[in-house]
Amino acid sequence: MLPIAVDAMGGDRAPGEILAGAHQAAELGIP
């Protein structure tokens, strides 16, 4: 697994939606 950096600052739904998308991408194997 490759490490990733996520900018989860800002937005009305941050960081929850951003982290959910990162988890989904990791589960799908998208680097």
pLDDT 10s digits, 1-31? 678 777 778 788 888 998 898 899 889 998 7
Helices (H) then strands (E): counts for the chain = 1, 0
The two tokens of residue 24 are 């989904």
Greatest extent of the chain over all pairs of C-alpha atoms, in Å: 30
CA gap 2, 16 in Å, rounded: 21
Specify the pLDDT at position 13: 83
Would you say the pTM of this structure is higher than 0.85? Answer: no
Backbone angles phi, psi at 13, to 5 degrees: -115, 10
* Closest among 4, 13, 9, 14 to 22, alpha carbons compared: 4
